[in-house]
Structure 1
């Protein structure tokens, strides 16, 4: 974000990662929009589908050193499972966004590069960060949409020489037959809707699950004609990812780490890679760089992630690509920003979610952190950051932990679980 002012466009409601028909999961993801505050610099604006508490804004601006009056936060009223651009129009906020952007050469920074965000930028008269023109962003859209699908990634990964789990792509109607066929060779398979993220709609199926004439029942994800991917279910030791950035000068590795998952669903992340799977870092970066070159050749610019599975033999298998800002892109930017001058070498960090036994507001949670001396300390570049505001239920807290080593991160997380009285902590 080294350019001029930006309009941070928190369009979590997008058809890039999941079909818009999946309105409930998209609405849940949109609750993470407050984390975009950590990207703001003086002169910027944030267009958000959810409200941000005054306490959270003061907290974030205090840590980043941004004068509160130098940025604009525009909250868009709920409009159902529709793209954020449409919700802005329906709320009559187009002129306000246009006025905030002004004629200062501002650019739109969307969470997801989709058709509605590009059309919105054109209507407002903005470029789309980091593309030089609207037309350049539009030219990248086809590849962006394709490589956010499971089938599109498998095809590209095969051509680029990545190792992928054995599997097949099929239409919904053929999914059960393909599943049964693969179960003849593998004890378990994973059945994934083509356009999905965070494990949404994924099914793990064993031979026993389909014995005795039992039918395979799938979620409605993707509709009756949608594509599905059926793959061998590996004996997974770690789920890992590498995050990269495509720029005019080439593809740059930003960071890598291990994902925390429950039955395939993302629940958190720790960076750098732990020793148990650190040996795959080079291969991950090689695959990511190859994919970055492919994306650049098709006009894409900006951040993306490549996910992989490491089996119990220590072998990595590429599993999917996320050609967008992911759940870790902004937290990493936040960590880099908050520790730029205080921590060397680069710190270890994690993001996760914990459920407090009783609800509390943001001020109450922050007071507990400060009283226990767990709150992020700018002088030392370590501590806990409540990076996504108070949750609507007052209990499901998203947090980041920054420390000098992975061991210190684990210790602080354990202490945090006690201080905020997390269930199971």
Structure 2
């Protein structure tokens, strides 16, 4: 009963043009791919861009109760972008396919789990005669996942489902962008523009007529005080905003001071199962999450779930299968407005499906708060785990509390991600405060 796990943590439809990524971004993508180890069980086969660090592999499998010696890792040969991420060329390499068939015993896997099910993953499933093992294969094989991960497509889907959206529109030409941005400016609002395909907020920019707007969900604010400044901006940035005129652009009202919340589901043929509700920590881009969400009341949670369920049911009817995160903002005046759907494994899926319910057993579900943050600078992964243990902060399976090092980016930017597991938010925040005595918080 082998599961094939594919760590394609960066794809064209997730982050845009792969060739435009910096070496640090490529390496960071490869480090994130190693997080797929959390999903492994005895006898599984993993496809990763490079070999997982031995100390990280031992640490993860110890916490999940997986026999590390039973796992098989298959690594495709590098391509023109190197060996940091799993590109389509690497996944289609004939020698890799032969190695993978041998690792699987020349039998198709019972299930295929990938970060993102693009055409390279459906092609791999087809090459292994394992189409039935990939959830939603017919939809994904027609590039359906690009359809439902498009930020432009999302607005049409949400509007059709009657889900509340930030005011705005989708544009295809510079003059349409000028009109849409000017209309929102004239109403006294700032504007967020979004590339159709990108992730983590890196494809977003905030536009404002005045200084003083604090960015959230985008790296920067561009001040455009008048029509000539706006015209110049659109002309200069149009190629970037539309990925070389290949994609559409989203223009929507920006709500300063909003909180970003989400509801995550697994969509099957029969239903959409809720696996968690969380809140993203933004500085100004996402640096972590807390789950369950702690700052929303029961009424807001009900509004979030009502809209999310309608969105996810629309996706299910279309044919998408797999993990979906329906993201929304809670505005300062109490509106819940949906902003996008991420139809892939997210930065929190490992917390929802592995830490909450496997590392922390199901009997403690809803009795623990998980506070995860990126950006802890450490001397090495082994040193980080050792310092946690020496300080009495490491995860304790008896109390079901403590700190888990969830992601190992030491070979990338020298940091790790840490998830504090505690009885309540105050205790989780105290664990992170104590982490600051051991490591340097680069995200602050």
**How high is the TM-score relative to the length of structure 2?**
0.87
Contact 2:163 2:310 in 1 (8 A): no
**Structure 2: tracts of 5 or more residues without a match:** 211-222
Correspondence for 2:95: 92
- Cα distance, 1:274 vs. partner? 1.3
For residues 155-213 of structure 1, what are the alpha-carbon distances to aligned partners after superposition, in whole Å with 9 as ceiling and x for unaligned? Answer: 11111111111112112523344322321113311111111211012111111422253
1:105-124 → structure 2 map (5 Å cutoff):
105-106=108-109, 107-124=111-128
Instruction: Provide closer, same or farther for how the CA distance between residues 252 and 344 of structure 1 changes in structure 2, counting only shifts above 3 A.
Output: closer
Correspondence for 1:210: 224
Q: Is 1:315 paired with 2:335? A: yes
Correspondence for 2:44: 44
Give the secondary structure class of the aligned counterpart of 1:191: strand
Instruction: Provide closer, same or farther for how the CA distance between residues 87 and 103 of structure 1 changes in structure 2, counting only shifts above 3 A.
Output: closer
Correspondence for 1:173: 174
For residues 129-173 of structure 1, what are the alpha-carbon distances to aligned partners after superposition, in whole Å with 9 as ceiling and x for unaligned? Answer: 5537x446425x42x322211111111111111111111211252
Cα distance in 2 between the residues matched to 1:91 and 1:409:
48
Correspondence for 2:213: none
For residues 247-306 of structure 1, what are the alpha-carbon distances to aligned partners after superposition, in whole Å with 9 as ceiling and x for unaligned? Answer: 23311111111111233x222110111134553211111112112221221112111010
Correspondence for 2:75: 75
Contact 1:5 1:104 in 2 (8 A): no
Correspondence for 1:161: 162
Contact 1:173 1:224 in 2 (8 A): no
- Cα distance, 1:223 vs. partner? 1.6
Larger CA deviation: 403-412 vs 391-400: 391-400
Give the secondary structure class of the aligned counterpart of 2:400: coil
Cα distance in 2 between the residues matched to 1:176 and 1:51:
48
What is the root-mean-square deviation in Å for CA atoms of aligned residues?
A: 2.4
Q: Is 1:420 paired with 2:405? A: no
Contact 2:76 2:93 in 1 (8 A): no
Give the secondary structure class of the aligned counterpart of 1:350: strand
Q: What count of residue pairs does the alignment treat as equivalent?
A: 416
Q: Is 1:148 paired with 2:140? A: no
Correspondence for 1:59: 59
Q: Is 1:138 paired with 2:138? A: no
- Cα distance, 1:76 vs. partner? 3.6
Give 2:258's match in structure 1, choosing from 233, 237, 241. 237
- Cα distance, 1:23 vs. partner? 4.0
Contact 1:303 1:324 in 2 (8 A): yes
Q: Is 1:392 paired with 2:411? A: yes
**Structure 1: tracts of 5 or more residues without a match:** none
Give the secondary structure class of the aligned counterpart of 1:223: coil
Give the secondary structure class of the aligned counterpart of 1:155: helix
Give 2:16's match in structure 1, choosing from 1, 16, 19. 19
Correspondence for 1:350: 371
Give the secondary structure class of the aligned counterpart of 1:304: strand
